[in-house]
Structure 1
Amino acid sequence: MGILRDEAPGRAEMEMMARQALGRLPPQFREHLGDVVVRVEEFPTREQLASVGLDDRWDLSGLYEGVPLSERSIWSPSEMPPIVTLFRQPLIREWRETGVRFGDLVTHVVVHEIGHHFGFTDETMHLLEDGEEF
Protein backbone atom coordinates (compact mmCIF):
# COMPACT_ATOMS: atom_id res chain seq x y z
CA MET A 1 0.00 0.00 0.00
CA GLY A 2 1.49 3.33 -0.94
CA ILE A 3 0.50 6.89 -0.31
CA LEU A 4 0.12 8.47 -3.73
CA ARG A 5 -0.57 11.99 -2.55
CA ASP A 6 1.64 14.70 -1.15
CA GLU A 7 -0.18 14.94 2.16
CA ALA A 8 1.23 12.91 5.02
CA PRO A 9 -0.87 10.14 6.53
CA GLY A 10 -2.36 10.61 9.97
CA ARG A 11 -1.81 8.45 13.01
CA ALA A 12 -4.90 6.30 12.45
CA GLU A 13 -3.90 5.60 8.85
CA MET A 14 -0.37 4.66 9.93
CA GLU A 15 -1.73 2.31 12.59
CA MET A 16 -3.89 0.66 9.94
CA MET A 17 -0.84 0.24 7.66
CA ALA A 18 1.14 -1.29 10.54
CA ARG A 19 -1.64 -3.76 11.33
CA GLN A 20 -1.86 -4.72 7.66
CA ALA A 21 1.91 -5.31 7.62
CA LEU A 22 1.54 -7.62 10.64
CA GLY A 23 -1.31 -9.42 8.91
CA ARG A 24 0.95 -10.23 5.95
CA LEU A 25 3.55 -11.98 8.10
CA PRO A 26 3.73 -15.78 7.76
CA PRO A 27 1.33 -17.61 10.12
CA GLN A 28 4.17 -19.09 12.21
CA PHE A 29 5.12 -15.50 13.17
CA ARG A 30 1.61 -14.06 13.46
CA GLU A 31 0.58 -16.65 16.03
CA HIS A 32 3.17 -15.19 18.44
CA LEU A 33 2.04 -11.56 18.15
CA GLY A 34 -1.17 -11.65 20.18
CA ASP A 35 0.16 -9.53 23.03
CA VAL A 36 2.14 -7.03 20.91
CA VAL A 37 0.77 -3.48 21.02
CA VAL A 38 1.32 -1.28 17.95
CA ARG A 39 1.11 2.46 18.32
CA VAL A 40 2.06 5.62 16.47
CA GLU A 41 3.61 8.66 18.14
CA GLU A 42 4.85 11.88 16.57
CA PHE A 43 8.41 11.60 17.96
CA PRO A 44 10.34 9.37 20.37
CA THR A 45 10.82 10.51 23.95
CA ARG A 46 14.26 11.30 25.36
CA GLU A 47 14.14 8.01 27.24
CA GLN A 48 13.36 6.06 24.07
CA LEU A 49 16.22 7.76 22.22
CA ALA A 50 18.62 7.06 25.08
CA SER A 51 17.59 3.38 25.15
CA VAL A 52 19.06 2.95 21.65
CA GLY A 53 21.96 5.38 22.03
CA LEU A 54 20.56 8.20 19.91
CA ASP A 55 20.27 11.93 20.56
CA ASP A 56 18.36 13.26 17.55
CA ARG A 57 14.62 12.62 17.56
CA TRP A 58 14.64 12.56 13.74
CA ASP A 59 16.94 9.50 13.70
CA LEU A 60 14.48 6.98 15.14
CA SER A 61 11.55 5.80 13.01
CA GLY A 62 10.50 2.76 15.05
CA LEU A 63 11.18 1.05 18.36
CA TYR A 64 10.48 -2.31 20.00
CA GLU A 65 10.09 -2.16 23.77
CA GLY A 66 9.63 -5.39 25.62
CA VAL A 67 11.17 -8.74 26.38
CA PRO A 68 11.90 -10.74 23.21
CA LEU A 69 10.31 -14.18 23.03
CA SER A 70 13.76 -15.75 23.08
CA GLU A 71 14.41 -14.22 26.53
CA ARG A 72 11.06 -14.92 28.18
CA SER A 73 10.59 -17.43 30.95
CA ILE A 74 7.51 -18.84 32.57
CA TRP A 75 9.25 -18.12 35.87
CA SER A 76 9.47 -14.38 35.25
CA PRO A 77 6.47 -13.22 33.27
CA SER A 78 6.58 -9.71 31.87
CA GLU A 79 4.12 -7.26 33.40
CA MET A 80 3.83 -5.03 30.36
CA PRO A 81 3.01 -6.22 26.85
CA PRO A 82 5.64 -5.67 24.17
CA ILE A 83 5.16 -2.43 22.24
CA VAL A 84 6.13 -1.51 18.69
CA THR A 85 6.04 2.24 18.22
CA LEU A 86 6.25 3.98 14.88
CA PHE A 87 7.38 7.59 14.96
CA ARG A 88 5.28 9.54 12.49
CA GLN A 89 7.39 12.63 11.82
CA PRO A 90 10.70 10.79 11.21
CA LEU A 91 8.88 8.35 8.90
CA ILE A 92 7.28 11.20 6.98
CA ARG A 93 10.64 12.88 6.55
CA GLU A 94 12.22 9.65 5.32
CA TRP A 95 9.32 9.12 2.90
CA ARG A 96 9.73 12.60 1.46
CA GLU A 97 13.53 12.32 1.23
CA THR A 98 13.67 8.85 -0.33
CA GLY A 99 10.53 8.65 -2.45
CA VAL A 100 9.88 5.14 -1.14
CA ARG A 101 6.18 4.29 -1.08
CA PHE A 102 4.91 5.16 2.38
CA GLY A 103 3.24 1.80 2.93
CA ASP A 104 6.47 0.01 2.02
CA LEU A 105 8.39 2.16 4.48
CA VAL A 106 5.92 1.41 7.28
CA THR A 107 6.06 -2.31 6.46
CA HIS A 108 9.86 -2.28 6.55
CA VAL A 109 9.95 -0.61 9.97
CA VAL A 110 7.20 -2.83 11.42
CA VAL A 111 8.90 -6.02 10.22
CA HIS A 112 12.24 -4.81 11.59
CA GLU A 113 10.77 -4.05 15.02
CA ILE A 114 8.84 -7.34 15.12
CA GLY A 115 12.15 -9.03 14.39
CA HIS A 116 13.33 -7.76 17.77
CA HIS A 117 10.25 -9.39 19.34
CA PHE A 118 11.58 -12.72 18.06
CA GLY A 119 15.06 -11.98 19.37
CA PHE A 120 16.69 -11.23 16.01
CA THR A 121 19.62 -8.86 16.05
CA ASP A 122 19.91 -5.99 13.58
CA GLU A 123 22.66 -7.95 11.83
CA THR A 124 20.45 -11.04 11.46
CA MET A 125 17.59 -8.95 10.10
CA HIS A 126 19.89 -7.35 7.52
CA LEU A 127 21.03 -10.82 6.43
CA LEU A 128 17.42 -11.96 6.13
CA GLU A 129 16.49 -8.83 4.14
CA ASP A 130 19.43 -9.45 1.79
CA GLY A 131 18.38 -13.08 1.35
CA GLU A 132 21.55 -14.43 2.90
CA GLU A 133 21.79 -17.47 5.12
CA PHE A 134 23.27 -17.17 8.58
Structure 2
Amino acid sequence: MTNPWTDRAAPSLDDFEQIAAAAFSALPSEFRELAGNVPCAVADFPDEETIREMELESEFDILGLFRGVGLPQGGAMPFTGQMPNQVWLYRRPILDYWAESEAGETLGEIITHVLVHEIGHHFGFSDEDMEAIEAAAERE
Protein backbone atom coordinates (compact mmCIF):
# COMPACT_ATOMS: atom_id res chain seq x y z
CA MET A 1 0.00 0.00 0.00
CA THR A 2 1.37 3.41 -1.00
CA ASN A 3 1.28 6.26 1.48
CA PRO A 4 -0.14 9.38 -0.24
CA TRP A 5 2.16 11.66 1.80
CA THR A 6 5.52 10.15 0.86
CA ASP A 7 5.89 12.09 -2.39
CA ARG A 8 4.37 15.41 -1.30
CA ALA A 9 6.14 18.62 -0.41
CA ALA A 10 4.88 21.35 1.90
CA PRO A 11 2.81 23.99 0.10
CA SER A 12 5.01 26.76 -1.30
CA LEU A 13 4.43 30.50 -0.93
CA ASP A 14 2.70 30.42 -4.33
CA ASP A 15 0.49 27.54 -3.16
CA PHE A 16 -0.42 29.54 -0.06
CA GLU A 17 -1.32 32.57 -2.16
CA GLN A 18 -3.61 30.37 -4.26
CA ILE A 19 -5.23 28.82 -1.17
CA ALA A 20 -5.69 32.30 0.36
CA ALA A 21 -7.21 33.61 -2.90
CA ALA A 22 -9.64 30.66 -2.98
CA ALA A 23 -10.48 31.20 0.71
CA PHE A 24 -11.11 34.89 0.06
CA SER A 25 -13.35 34.18 -2.93
CA ALA A 26 -15.41 31.75 -0.78
CA LEU A 27 -16.19 34.46 1.79
CA PRO A 28 -19.59 36.18 1.72
CA SER A 29 -19.77 38.72 -1.11
CA GLU A 30 -20.56 41.62 1.25
CA PHE A 31 -17.36 40.94 3.19
CA ARG A 32 -15.27 40.61 -0.01
CA GLU A 33 -16.62 43.89 -1.34
CA LEU A 34 -15.74 45.71 1.86
CA ALA A 35 -12.25 44.17 2.00
CA GLY A 36 -11.55 44.50 -1.71
CA ASN A 37 -8.82 47.13 -1.35
CA VAL A 38 -6.85 45.48 1.48
CA PRO A 39 -4.10 43.39 -0.13
CA CYS A 40 -3.00 40.05 1.30
CA ALA A 41 0.64 38.99 1.26
CA VAL A 42 2.23 35.68 2.20
CA ALA A 43 5.66 35.29 3.79
CA ASP A 44 7.40 32.37 5.44
CA PHE A 45 7.77 34.27 8.73
CA PRO A 46 7.14 37.74 10.15
CA ASP A 47 9.99 40.18 9.66
CA GLU A 48 12.30 41.23 12.50
CA GLU A 49 10.40 44.51 13.01
CA THR A 50 7.12 42.63 13.52
CA ILE A 51 8.74 40.16 15.91
CA ARG A 52 10.10 43.06 17.94
CA GLU A 53 6.89 45.15 17.85
CA MET A 54 4.66 42.24 18.79
CA GLU A 55 7.16 41.08 21.45
CA LEU A 56 7.07 37.53 20.08
CA GLU A 57 9.16 34.87 21.73
CA SER A 58 9.44 32.97 18.46
CA GLU A 59 8.75 33.61 14.79
CA PHE A 60 6.21 30.76 15.08
CA ASP A 61 4.07 32.70 17.59
CA ILE A 62 1.96 34.50 14.98
CA LEU A 63 -0.09 33.07 12.10
CA GLY A 64 -1.13 36.32 10.46
CA LEU A 65 -1.17 40.05 10.95
CA PHE A 66 -3.21 43.06 9.93
CA ARG A 67 -0.74 45.90 9.53
CA GLY A 68 -2.19 49.36 9.26
CA VAL A 69 -4.91 51.52 10.74
CA GLY A 70 -8.34 49.91 10.95
CA LEU A 71 -11.43 51.68 9.69
CA PRO A 72 -12.74 52.38 13.22
CA GLN A 73 -9.47 54.17 13.97
CA GLY A 74 -9.72 56.34 10.84
CA GLY A 75 -7.85 54.08 8.45
CA ALA A 76 -10.07 54.48 5.40
CA MET A 77 -7.58 56.87 3.80
CA PRO A 78 -3.85 56.68 4.57
CA PHE A 79 -2.24 59.69 6.19
CA THR A 80 0.76 61.21 4.48
CA GLY A 81 3.69 58.84 4.83
CA GLN A 82 1.51 56.00 6.16
CA MET A 83 1.93 52.64 4.46
CA PRO A 84 -1.31 51.18 3.06
CA ASN A 85 -3.20 48.62 5.11
CA GLN A 86 -2.19 45.03 4.42
CA VAL A 87 -2.92 41.53 5.67
CA TRP A 88 -0.03 39.11 6.13
CA LEU A 89 -0.27 35.32 6.31
CA TYR A 90 2.78 33.48 7.65
CA ARG A 91 3.27 30.14 5.88
CA ARG A 92 5.62 28.30 8.25
CA PRO A 93 3.73 29.10 11.49
CA ILE A 94 0.43 28.16 9.79
CA LEU A 95 1.93 24.86 8.59
CA ASP A 96 3.28 24.20 12.09
CA TYR A 97 -0.14 24.93 13.63
CA TRP A 98 -1.81 22.65 11.06
CA ALA A 99 0.65 19.82 11.75
CA GLU A 100 0.10 20.04 15.51
CA SER A 101 -3.67 20.63 15.41
CA GLU A 102 -5.72 17.88 16.97
CA ALA A 103 -9.01 19.43 15.84
CA GLY A 104 -8.75 17.89 12.38
CA GLU A 105 -8.89 21.25 10.63
CA THR A 106 -7.85 21.35 7.00
CA LEU A 107 -5.14 23.72 5.85
CA GLY A 108 -7.77 25.65 3.90
CA GLU A 109 -9.93 26.07 7.01
CA ILE A 110 -6.98 27.40 9.00
CA ILE A 111 -6.00 29.85 6.26
CA THR A 112 -9.64 31.02 6.01
CA HIS A 113 -9.77 31.54 9.77
CA VAL A 114 -6.56 33.59 9.84
CA LEU A 115 -7.60 35.60 6.76
CA VAL A 116 -11.02 36.47 8.20
CA HIS A 117 -9.52 37.30 11.57
CA GLU A 118 -6.90 39.65 10.12
CA ILE A 119 -9.28 41.36 7.66
CA GLY A 120 -11.75 41.62 10.55
CA HIS A 121 -9.20 43.76 12.41
CA HIS A 122 -9.34 46.20 9.48
CA PHE A 123 -13.07 46.60 10.05
CA GLY A 124 -12.99 46.48 13.83
CA PHE A 125 -15.18 43.37 13.90
CA SER A 126 -15.77 41.45 17.10
CA ASP A 127 -14.80 37.78 17.43
CA GLU A 128 -18.52 36.93 17.11
CA ASP A 129 -18.74 38.88 13.83
CA MET A 130 -15.72 37.00 12.47
CA GLU A 131 -17.14 33.62 13.55
CA ALA A 132 -20.37 34.43 11.69
CA ILE A 133 -18.41 35.30 8.52
CA GLU A 134 -16.46 32.04 8.72
CA ALA A 135 -19.68 30.08 9.23
CA ALA A 136 -21.22 31.76 6.18
CA ALA A 137 -18.12 30.87 4.13
CA GLU A 138 -18.45 27.22 5.16
CA ARG A 139 -22.09 27.17 4.06
CA GLU A 140 -21.31 28.62 0.60
TM-score, normalization by structure 2? 0.75
Shift of 1:110: 0.5
1:108 is matched with which residue? 113
Return 5+ residue gaps in structure 2 as ranges. Answer: 133-140
The percentage of aligned residue pairs carrying the same residue is 39
Amino acid at match of 1:115: G
SS in structure 2 of the partner of residue 7 of structure 1: coil
2:66 is matched with which residue? 64
Shift of 1:100: 2.4
1:86 is matched with which residue? 89
TM-score, normalization by structure 1? 0.78
Amino acid at match of 1:89: R
SS in structure 1 of the partner of residue 34 of structure 2: coil
Tell me which structure has the larger Cα radius of gyration.
Answer: 2
Q: Output the CA distance in 2 between the equivalents of 1:28 and 1:126.
A: 17
Supply the RMSD in Å over aligned alpha carbons. 2.5
- C-alpha change, 1:126 and 1:46, in structure 2 (3 Å) is farther
Q: Output the CA distance in 1 between the equivalents of 2:32 and 2:129.
A: 21
- C-alpha change, 1:102 and 1:29, in structure 2 (3 Å) is same
CA contact (8 A) 2:19 2:108 kept: yes
Shift of 1:27: 2.1
Return 5+ residue gaps in structure 1 as ranges. Answer: none
